[in-house]
Chains A and B, each alone.
Chain A
C-alpha cells in the first residue's frame, strides 16, 4: 500500500506532520549531524526577539521524573542575526522553517512580523504568548484573552501572507477561552501546549533547583495533559492544530493526530535522542500501513468516543 504523509494546515503545506519544537532544536543546524534536516516536516527555531537576549541566570534546567524543568528565559541571538547567520544554511526550500517569536509588547510583536513578512525562507510565524520564564510578555499575554487577541491582531496585520501560528499556554483554567480569542483575532493555526509551570527543590541545600525558582515542565510527564488540551481545542473549534507535549515515539504522534492535531512538534525528546525526530519521519509509512491508512485525512480527529 502506498502512503501519502503530507498534511495541510490551513495553507501551510508540510511533507509530513513531524516538526521540531521551539527551544528544543536550537536553530536547526545543531542537529544536522544527526539526520537530514530537509526530511523533517518542519523546523521551529528557538524563540527569537528583536534584540539578542541573555536569558536567566543558572541553574536553568533540572531533570524531573520523565521530563525536565527549564527556565532558560529565551536566550537568543536576535532576529537579525538569525536571518543573516542561520537561515541561509537551513534547507528552507525543502522543509518549512517556522520562526518562533517572543516580544514584550504588542508593538514589538508587530515589528517582528513585519520584518519577516517578506522573508522567503520563512514558512510561518509561531507567536509565543506562553513562555512561563520571562518577567514581561510571554505568559502574561497567553493568560489574558483580551491581550492575546490584541497581540495576534497586530501580528496578522503585519505578517502579509505568512500563516500565523499561535502557541498556547496550558497554565490557564480553560484553554478554550484563549483559543477562541486568538481564533477570532485571526490566528491561522494553533499550537499547544507550551510548558507547564513547576518547581523543584533540594532538601540538602534548602534551595530551589532553579535559580529562577519556577520553570516550565516538559517531556513525557506532560503528555496526558497536552493530549487533553489538544482534544478540547480540536473538538470545539474548526482550526488547524499542532499538537505538542511529551511526544517521544511514533505512537505518540498518531495519538495527537487521532484527537485532532494536523501535525505535531517533538520537543524535549530531542535531548534524550538527537536523532529521534528524523527516525520518527522514517517510521511514519510503516505505522500508517499497519493502521491501514493511506493518508492522514483518514486519521486526523477520528477518535471514537
Chain B
C-alpha cells in the first residue's frame, strides 16, 4: 500500500467529449486489474471534501494513467489540473479481478467501465484468452481503445439511440448465455443491472465491479456498502468486484 503525494505529469482532455487522461508520477506499484486508488489534489483543501476513487488504467516506470469521465465537480477539477500540481494518492485498494491465465474470459465494458480492462488486457500474459465487448455512447476514438492489445478478440458497439440500447442489451444476453467461463463487467449502474440479471439467469460465473460513492476507500466509514448475502459489506475492501451471486438488491 502506497500513500504518497504525486505530481501531475500531464492531462490530456478529449475534444468534444467529457473525458480526460490524467498522468501522474508513477507509484511503480504492483496492482491487480480492477484495483483502484483514491486521489485528492492538495489544492482542494476542504472542498471538495472527499478524495475520489479511480481504477488504474495503465502504469509503467514513467507514469500512472487514470482515464476519467467528467461527471461532477470533482472530476471537472481533476480534468483541469496542471502539470506539476500535487495529488494525494493511496492504493492500490480493493480486491480486483481474479483469474487464471489459461481460462477464457468474457469481458463486458460500458463506457468508462473500459478503464480497468485496459489494465487487465495489458497485464494478461495470454490476451488471446479475452473476448471484450464494449458498449459506448461517444465515438470510439474518444476512448483509449488502441491501448488494448491486438490479440484480444474485441467488439465495440455504439449506442446513440434507445433502439441501439435495446439491441445492446440483447447482445449482452447472448454473449453471457453463450460463454462458458468467467464473465467480468464494469460500467454504469444500468449496464451492470443488465449484466447482473442475465448472468444470474444463466448461472454464469460472473463478477461485476461496482462504483459506489466512497469517502475513505479503506473500509473505515461504512458509507460505500453494498448488500451481499452476508449483509452490508464495504465495496472498497470486499469489492469493488463482487460475484453476481453474492450480491442482493442490486
Smallest CB separation, A16 vs chain B (Å):
21
Interface of A is mostly: loop
Kindly state whether residue A172 has any CB partner on chain B within 8 Å: no
Kindly state whether residue B136 has any CB partner on chain A within 8 Å: no
Known contacts being A33-B1, A61-B213, is A55 close to B222, with CB within 8 Å? yes
Residues of B within 8 Å of A34, CB to CB, are 3, 90
Residues of B within 8 Å of A83, CB to CB, are none
Binds A, one of B43-51, B155-163, B197-205, B238-246: B43-51
Known contacts being A34-B3, A274-B216, is A63 close to B49, with CB within 8 Å? yes
Q: How far is the CA of A31 from the CA of B90 in the complex (A)?
A: 12
Residues of A within 8 Å of B231, CB to CB, are 54
Q: How far is the CA of A150 from the CA of B115 in the complex (A)?
A: 56
A55–B49 touching, CB < 8 Å:
no
Which of B49, B50, B51, B88 has most A Cβ within 10 Å? B49
Kindly state whether residue A273 has any CB partner on chain B within 8 Å: yes
Known contacts being A34-B3, A61-B213, A63-B48, is A270 close to B222, with CB within 8 Å? no
Q: How far is the CA of A248 from the CA of B46 in the complex (A)?
A: 9
Kindly state whether residue B142 has any CB partner on chain A within 8 Å: no
- The 8 Å CB contact of A60, one of B90, B216, B219, B223, is B223
Kindly state whether residue B232 has any CB partner on chain A within 8 Å: yes
Q: How far is the CA of A258 from the CA of B226 in the complex (A)?
A: 42
B212–A25 touching, CB < 8 Å:
no
Known contacts being A63-B48, A65-B47, A272-B49, is A24 close to B213, with CB within 8 Å? no
Kindly state whether residue B140 has any CB partner on chain A within 8 Å: no
Q: How far is the CA of A67 from the CA of B47 in the complex (A)?
A: 8
- The 8 Å CB contact of A61, one of B46, B218, B219, B221, is B221
Q: How many A-B residue pairs have CB under 8 A?
A: 91
Kindly state whether residue A120 has any CB partner on chain B within 8 Å: no
Smallest CB separation, B90 vs chain A (Å):
6
Report how many residues on chain A are interfacial, defined by Cβ distance under 8 Å. 35
Smallest CB separation, B248 vs chain A (Å):
12
Kindly state whether residue A121 has any CB partner on chain B within 8 Å: no
Q: How far is the CA of A70 from the CA of B224 in the complex (A)?
A: 11
Q: How far is the CA of A63 from the CA of B74 in the complex (A)?
A: 11
Kindly state whether residue A166 has any CB partner on chain B within 8 Å: no
Kindly state whether residue A170 has any CB partner on chain B within 8 Å: no
A68–B232 touching, CB < 8 Å:
no
Kindly state whether residue B22 has any CB partner on chain A within 8 Å: no
A270–B225 touching, CB < 8 Å:
no
- The 8 Å CB contact of B49, one of A58, A60, A67, is A67
A271–B51 touching, CB < 8 Å:
yes
Residues of B within 8 Å of A60, CB to CB, are 222-223, 225
A66–B47 touching, CB < 8 Å:
yes
B50–A272 touching, CB < 8 Å:
yes
Could you list which residues of chain A lie within 8 angstroms of chain B, going by C-beta atoms?
23-26, 30-31, 33-34, 46, 54-55, 58-68, 70, 72, 75, 219-220, 248, 268, 270-275
Nearest 8 A-B pairs (CB), nearest first? A61-B223, A26-B220, A271-B216, A66-B46, A271-B215, A30-B220, A220-B46, A33-B1
Inter-chain pairs besides A24-B221, A68-B49, 5 sampled, C-beta below 8 Å:
A46-B222, A58-B212, A59-B213, A271-B215, A275-B3
11 contacts between A and B (CB under 8 A): A23-B221, A24-B221, A25-B220, A30-B216, A30-B218, A58-B227, A60-B225, A66-B47, A271-B49, A272-B46, A272-B50
